[in-house]
Amino acid sequence: MRLNFMTYTLGVLALCIALAGPVYAADKEKTAYQAPSYAVKSIYERPYSLTESNIDKTLLKRNTFLLVGAGVATMGILYLMPSSFTNWEDDGKNPFSKWWDNVTDGPVWDEDDLFLNYIAHPYCGAIYYMGARSAGANAFESFLYSFALSTFFWEYGIESFAEVPSIQDLIVTPVGGAIVGEGFYLAKRHIYENDGKLMNSEVLGSTAVFLMDPMTEITNYIWDEDEQKELAEHAFSLQAQPIMTRNGGMGYGISLSFAF
């Protein structure tokens, strides 16, 4: 079963616009939220909204960088796994020739198992979705972000080096990912509102937040200014400077300091 790529793309976008219209209109009928005059740290400090957009471009760029890197790494791991798991065939073709053949031959209805198609792919789509949602994008913008990454970066990008794009993956990943992703977003808000706890446990709360939104959590850890300042305060320094020796000669002294 084959589906023209342009037909698929236009069809999914039209469907999402049609679904987003009533939601957007209903949300607009609610009392308008007045944004504070001061800057807020994240979207999780603002009232819940499906349509409000206040994108942190720096965070979005960093999340995208990590998502692309994680995608390439995942592709490498899958490439090393047995074909019985991935259903990928090694036909000995030049990688770029195979990519072009797969792109032009697809998409097709694949024969992957239920776990890959209806659990793994919606979860991956939710991770894409949360990468934008946690950066301040609204629900529809986050869907488009997930759609772009899952379609152009993954299915018609790096995965096409191994197999023909899949009809199920093209639909289930962004659409299922948006549904699961918004659930993740609400759950993450709930955990934050409970001081980072899930079932009165900070460990469960931190674990759940990481599993639902790993890219943002990693980004915040890597580029956290307070964390970097703390690391700098606990750093060591090695210095060399000229000194006068006891016999009146010149030499160099070395000093090592460590703050903790």
Q: Distance between CA atoms of 179 and 164, rounded to whole angstroms?
A: 26
Range with top average pLDDT, 67-76, 213-222, 235-244: 213-222
Q: According to the model, what pLDDT value does residue 250 have?
A: 55
By percentage, how much of the chain surpasses pLDDT 70? 68
pTM: 0.72
Rounded mean pLDDT, 161-169: 92
β-strand pairing of 250-258 with 236-244: antiparallel
How sure is the predictor about 40, in pLDDT bands with cuts at 50, 70 and 90?
Answer: very low
What count of residues does the chain have?
260
Q: Share the mean pLDDT of the chain.
A: 80
Quick check: 238 pLDDT over 60?
no
Quick check: 136 pLDDT over 80?
yes
Q: According to the model, what pLDDT value does residue 225 have?
A: 61
Q: Using N-to-C axis directions, what is the helix angle for 121-133 and 177-193, rounded to 10°?
A: 50
Do 193 and 170 meet the contact criterion of CB atoms below 8 Å apart?
Answer: no
173 DSSP 8-state letter: I
Q: Using N-to-C axis directions, what is the helix angle for 121-133 and 214-222, rounded to 10°?
A: 40
Least confident of 1-5, 99-103, 149-153, 196-200: 1-5
Over the stretch 191-228, which tens digit does the pLDDT of each residue have? Answer: 999 999 999 999 999 999 999 999 999 999 998 765 54
CA distances, 137 to each of 51, 67, 185, 192 (Å): 8, 16, 12, 18
Do 66 and 218 meet the contact criterion of CB atoms below 8 Å apart?
Answer: yes
How many CA within 13 A on the CB side of residue 184?
A: 30
Gap between the terminal Cα atoms of the chain: 64
Q: Distance between CA atoms of 223 and 244, rounded to whole angstroms?
A: 43
Q: Distance between CA atoms of 180 and 162, rounded to whole angstroms?
A: 27
Q: According to the model, what pLDDT value does residue 169 have?
A: 95
Do 126 and 214 meet the contact criterion of CB atoms below 8 Å apart?
Answer: no
How sure is the predictor about 80, in pLDDT bands with cuts at 50, 70 and 90?
Answer: confident
Rounded mean pLDDT, 162-182: 95
Q: Distance between CA atoms of 65 and 222, rounded to whole angstroms?
A: 12
User: Of 240, 229, 22, 230, which is closest to residue 140 (Cα–Cα)?
Assistant: 22
Peptide bond into 174 cis (omega under 30): no
* Three-class HEC string of 21-89: HHHHHHHHHCCCCCCCCCCCCCHHHCCCCCCCCCCCHHHHHHHHHHHHHHHHHHHHHHHHCCHHHHCCC
